[in-house]
A and B are shown apart, each in its own frame.
Chain A
Amino acid sequence: MAAPRHLAALPLFLASVSLLALAAAGAEDEGPRGRRLLVLLDDLAVRSSHSAFFGSLQARGFDLDFRLADDPKLSLHRYGQYLYDGLVLFAPSTPRFGGSVDQNAVLEFIDAGHDMILAADSSASDLIRGIATECGVDFDEDPEAMVIDHINYAVTDVEGDHTLIAGDDLIQSDVILGSKKIEAPVLFRGIGHVANPSNSMVLKVLYASPSAYSANPKTKLASPPSLTGSAISLVSVMQARNNARVLVSGSLDLFSNRFLKSGVQKAGSKARHERAGNEQFVTETSKWVFHERGHLKAGNVKHHKVGETNEPGMYRINDDLEYSVEIYEWSGTSWKPYVADDVQVQFFMMSPYVLKTLSTDKKGLYSTSFKVPDVYGVFQFKVEYQRLGYTGLSFTKQIPVRPYRHNEYERFIASAYPYYTASFSTMGAFFIFSFVYLYHK
């Protein structure tokens, strides 16, 4: 295995040099993520049985490194640098990884801002379950359990145990699933999982129908199943606070050539689809997971007084200011302007004093103008933009607001003229009085 790789490395190296040159030429079009993926497999047979999925990744420019999960030379990083930008974990039954990789290494990999596709199966190992749990997804505790649906199963040639689900309960999100609607149901066979509804980071992308439940199909159901209905998630995604994305699927077969290529007919439905929705589903979700879509970046935050262009170090109360920020979205090949009408900026000091919706020029520039409140203190321009499927934008810029200087107040106030008159007339009167008193004999 290793020798051919080394031989192959030379042309690859040359290619990468030229790629590097290309990348240098178009540096500004650098995507949010690199394209080196590590694929961990239980069995090298998966490489061929899931070749369609891998092929679509490679076609999109990813550089896949296939390794056995228990490869003793396995390592995610070397000399403090991560060797990969993403992880495809297609090793549901691996009890432990080889080399220096373990559960914590995988989690650190994610916490360092990398993405992962994790596919489990019934009889998933504790290791895989542990990683999933750390990502906020709990697989059914029964190791033999599978998702069973006696109503929404996929029609097969032989009447089976209804574990082959034809799922069409998909999340309503163009960002995650692409703008083209997935018409055909998605075939699924495997273990179900749940996510804590209070956990806002985990989204159920594909979930079971209300008639589904999770149980061991081979034994008789003794007690009511613990997981039932649409609470069961079949495929979930998690976007961490650092925007690392993880896809957890309860079925490895979901990605297989067989499911990708086969036709599907949902039980009780006349419509038979030539192709299952799997291909589109896995392609689109993998695009999302590896940040080819739904990745926003903001930059060029500017603010200045109305009529000026330089950014001041400090504002005065009641100043009029303009604030602008540029937001772009990664389209997979280039940064495109992001267009939305719900981006808001806060002028914030312990609580927002000003909350304004930014208007966009459709070229990525968002701007607004407002008056600084009549309160001094250390404020922040704060943009918190969290939208379903998109990476979170959260950036602040600190700016102090000072009160008036001593010479910025009005010198003469109209309503105070009686007082001025009074004081000056008293002064004059006193002067005259003193003069008369002293020199009038």
Chain B
Amino acid sequence: MAEPEVSSAAAGGGGRLRNAFGGVLCAFALLLIGVLAFSIRLFSVIKYESVIHEFDPYFNFRVTQFLSKNGIYEFWNWFDDRTWYPLGRVIGGTVYPGLTLTAGTIWWLLNSLNIPLSVETVCVFTAPIFSANASWATYLLTKEAKGTGAGLMAAAILAMVPSYISRSVAGSYDNEAVAIFALIFTFYLYVKTLNTGSLFYATLNALSYFYMVCSWGGYTFIINLIPMHVLLCIVTGRYSSRLYIAYAPLVILGTLLAALVPVVGFNAVMTSEHFASFLVFIILHVVALVYYIKGLLTPRLFKVAMTLVISVGLAVCFAVVAILVALVASSPTKGWSGRSLSLLDPTYASKYIPIIASVSEHQPPTWPSYFMDINVLAFLIPAGIISCFLPLSDASSFMVLYLVTAVYFSGVMVRLMLVLAPAACILSGIALSEVFGVLTRSMKTHLSKLFDDSPAAPKSGDSSPESSSSSVNTDSTKSENRTEKTETAPKEKPSKKNRKKKEVAESVPVKPKKEKRLLVLPFELSVMGILLLIVLGGFYVVHCVWAAAEAYSAPSIVLTSRSRDGMHVFDDFREAYAWLSHNTDVDDKVASWWDYGYQTTAMANRTVIVDNNTWNNTHIATVGTAMSSPEKAAWEIFNSLDVKYILVVFGGLVGYPSDDINKFLWMVRIGGGVFPHIKEPDYLRDGQYRVDAQATPTMLNCLMYKLCYYRFVETDGKGFDKVRGYEIGKKHFKLTHFEEVFTTHHWMVRIYKLKPQRNRVRGKLKKLKSNAKTSPALAAGRKKNPWQ
């Protein structure tokens, strides 16, 4: 990565040729990085097949199919009657359309070019394409902060960072795939505007922000991070007109554009997530006004005016605060929404909103997951932060702020590790590039010493480090100078201003001495350092490839396991969905836990009661209650929802751990949250969740247990559950209100049908006196069950 620099340094005088050569090399490197980012994500296609992965991508895929078939207006107004039966869902107004529109556009473009790719193929490869885009955006962003070398380094690191791979392998057709690119690109345009003060980039920034809003709910991160940075700049006395241009248009245009997205709508001005941006907007204007007045008045007059304004302002502030406090105190929740509370107190959601806590990716990450997902970057980040402070510019302070906030959010939710990944890559890229710069420079010094004449060595040895160091130390700034000078005029003006101020502020002459001392590294040490860094990079690459190939490529609808006699493929999910689509009526309703809702609608094309878009807690709680009720009560609930089939996922036979029995406690919790007759302690024996002989009777009689373990004892004669690792509690039982209609090859998916209501109601047969030979049917008739 240091190559361009080395070459530029080696070329010495011929500036233009060197720049051109560096530019070509840089473009070539970027191209390779793009290819790398794309191809490292293809393991899933090579190892498995070209399919959509997991849960949410299936929904996105279905929406894209609809879009490509019916056009954008139908998509916008799409009322989907096949999910959330009988409530339905207004898809057009509740979905972030960015990803769908992107893939739909790509598909449309290819088709109009007579490249007849299927929608599914386009969807599968959208994520890898956008990760290449994301690494290029990373290059641009880092280049704005620390120059080309750091940019290339960061881009290369991001192209294969495991955290991002986990969300963007081929087939992982989810919002994040596009959103990370949009996030980085928005940051790039913000920093670019901040550096140039160009209104053109500010407008582009707002458009990019709009794309981000279209793509992912994570856009709130942008609209909070940028105000924070603006505030930081103001507080540290870095206010400038560039800052104003970078921020004010973004807030106004961005908010207007964001409100155009149906799913955001008035949230863009009404919810607490956006308040920070407006507050900072006001502060920025006050500061701008103060600077303006300062320029008009004499210092003495300004002081008088300041005291006057501050005293009046404080009085007004107190009044407003008092009113606000009164208003907040009068509202029952003290003005805090659950969401903002969960931001401040990360455990809030898991304590009070079980439906949020039940999603594994909403849990706080464990320490190993940091090393799994960002690997060596975790060690390089501190070095990157240090180098960002040498010297601290608007752009580098933004990087630091981005990293710090991203670290916090990744600690709240494992899913937000994804937001941390670009920050980690940028700072590691900066760190590595700086280190490589220092090491190669000192190597070069020593080499030039060697190649230069030996008698002159001591003298030149004394002088050359100085000269080279001075040249080197200004190297980065110089190259910046050069590029900026050669570039267009409007760009130069603000940057000149910028430099002027900086020179005043940072006292440039102090710096070179410091760096001179740093730069004198022994030749051996720098060679060793470079080698070690290359080894470190090698380990990182090996880890990334391993993560891409092994850890993150499984599509989760097809599972594999390796044993002595080769690889086993578990394709039960698709088997079950295919069964549903071939053997049930088009309008039949299938109930399952919400995890499988998207897949059922997309793959089996059957109406579901709840799905992964968990917008209606009560509806989910109804299904949870039914699953945790005994058969008869469950039958009544399902019948009232017109359910005909019930699908459960059971891993006990093959040892698939994320099955419904392991998710069952969440069903109880979510159900019990709305219907209090479901109580969690009833399902626990001494606080322990178990389904063996020690399990509570409530547990052994609930629908989920019965549907999972019905006829299970017939498989091995003992009913040994491989996931739980013990024999189940109740082995022999019959189903009264449900009948098994389909069980997949490995028993991973079991489908049951609701029995129809009894055609006749049997009379109460009292005990037949002196009648020994009661037929079995009559004996069964004594049960006082109207369905029996």
Contact for A134 among B587, B769, B781, CB less than 8 A: B781
**A377 close to B760 (CB less than 8 A):** no
Q: How far is the CA of A135 from the CA of B763 in the complex (A)?
A: 7
Interface 1/0 per residue, B744-772 and A, CB below 8 Å = 00000000000001111111111011010
Q: How far is the CA of A398 from the CA of B81 in the complex (A)?
A: 10
Q: Closest chain A residue to B781 by CB distance?
A: A133
Q: Can you name 28 A-B pairs with beta carbons within 8 Å?
A: A104-B777, A110-B760, A126-B773, A130-B778, A134-B763, A134-B777, A134-B781, A136-B762, A136-B763, A138-B763, A138-B765, A141-B768, A199-B763, A201-B760, A238-B760, A241-B758, A314-B81, A349-B86, A349-B87, A350-B86, A376-B79, A377-B87, A377-B88, A380-B86, A400-B79, A400-B81, A402-B79, A403-B90
**A314 close to B79 (CB less than 8 A):** yes
A residues neighboring B (CB under 8 Å): 103-104, 107, 110-111, 126, 130, 132-138, 141-142, 195-196, 199, 201-202, 238, 240-242, 244, 314, 349-350, 376-380, 398, 400, 402-403, 405-406
Q: How far is the CA of A406 from the CA of B93 in the complex (A)?
A: 10
- Residue B688 interfacial (CB < 8 Å): no
In the assembled complex, the CB of A351 is this many whole angstroms from the nearest CB of chain B, namely 10
Q: Which B residues from 433 to 451 make CB contacts under 8 A with A?
A: none
- Contacts between chains A and B (CB distance < 8 A), count: 99
Having A134-B762, A141-B768, one finds 20 other A-B pairs with CB under 8 Å, namely A110-B760, A126-B773, A126-B774, A138-B763, A141-B766, A141-B769, A196-B761, A241-B757, A241-B759, A241-B760, A314-B81, A377-B87, A377-B88, A378-B85, A379-B86, A380-B86, A400-B79, A400-B88, A406-B73, A406-B76
- Residue B640 interfacial (CB < 8 Å): yes
**A136 close to B86 (CB less than 8 A):** no
Q: Which 5 A-B pairs have the closest CB atoms?
A: A400-B81, A402-B79, A378-B86, A138-B763, A405-B77
In the assembled complex, the CB of A140 is this many whole angstroms from the nearest CB of chain B, namely 10
Chain A residues positioned under 8 Å from B640 (CB to CB)? 350
Q: Closest chain B residue to A399 by CB distance?
A: B81
Chain A residues positioned under 8 Å from B76 (CB to CB)? 406
Contact for B775 among A130, A241, A314, CB less than 8 A: A130
Q: How far is the CA of A134 from the CA of B640 in the complex (A)?
A: 27
The binding surface of chain B is classed by DSSP as loop
Q: How far is the CA of A201 from the CA of B761 in the complex (A)?
A: 7
Chain A residues positioned under 8 Å from B774 (CB to CB)? 126
In the assembled complex, the CB of B611 is this many whole angstroms from the nearest CB of chain A, namely 14
Interface 1/0 per residue, B216-254 and A, CB below 8 Å = 000000000000000000000000000000000000000
Q: How far is the CA of A333 from the CA of B90 in the complex (A)?
A: 51
Q: Closest chain A residue to B87 by CB distance?
A: A377
Q: Closest chain A residue to B757 by CB distance?
A: A241
Chain B residues positioned under 8 Å from A238 (CB to CB)? 760
Chain A residues positioned under 8 Å from B760 (CB to CB)? 107, 110-111, 134-136, 201, 238, 240-241
Q: Closest chain A residue to B76 by CB distance?
A: A406
| Contact A240-B762, Cβ < 8 Å, known A126-B775, A403-B79 | no
Q: How far is the CA of A130 from the CA of B780 in the complex (A)?
A: 12
**A377 close to B77 (CB less than 8 A):** no
Chain A residues positioned under 8 Å from B86 (CB to CB)? 349-350, 377-380
Q: How far is the CA of A50 from the CA of B641 in the complex (A)?
A: 51
- Among A135, A136, A242, A377, max chain B CB count under 10 A is at A377
Chain B residues positioned under 8 Å from A314 (CB to CB)? 79, 81
Chain A residues positioned under 8 Å from B775 (CB to CB)? 103, 126, 130
Q: How far is the CA of A371 from the CA of B410 in the complex (A)?
A: 51
Q: Closest chain B residue to A408 by CB distance?
A: B77
Q: Which B residues from 62 to 121 make CB contacts under 8 A with A?
A: 73, 76-77, 79, 81, 85-88, 90
Q: Which B residues from 635 to 652 make CB contacts under 8 A with A?
A: 640-641
In the assembled complex, the CB of B91 is this many whole angstroms from the nearest CB of chain A, namely 11
| Contact A199-B81, Cβ < 8 Å, known A377-B86, A403-B90 | no
Contact for B763 among A132, A244, A403, CB less than 8 A: A132
| Contact A138-B88, Cβ < 8 Å, known A111-B759, A130-B777, A398-B587 | no
Chain B residues positioned under 8 Å from A134 (CB to CB)? 760, 762-763, 777, 781
In the assembled complex, the CB of B695 is this many whole angstroms from the nearest CB of chain A, namely 33
Chain B residues positioned under 8 Å from A244 (CB to CB)? 759
**B761 close to A199 (CB less than 8 A):** yes
In the assembled complex, the CB of B256 is this many whole angstroms from the nearest CB of chain A, namely 11
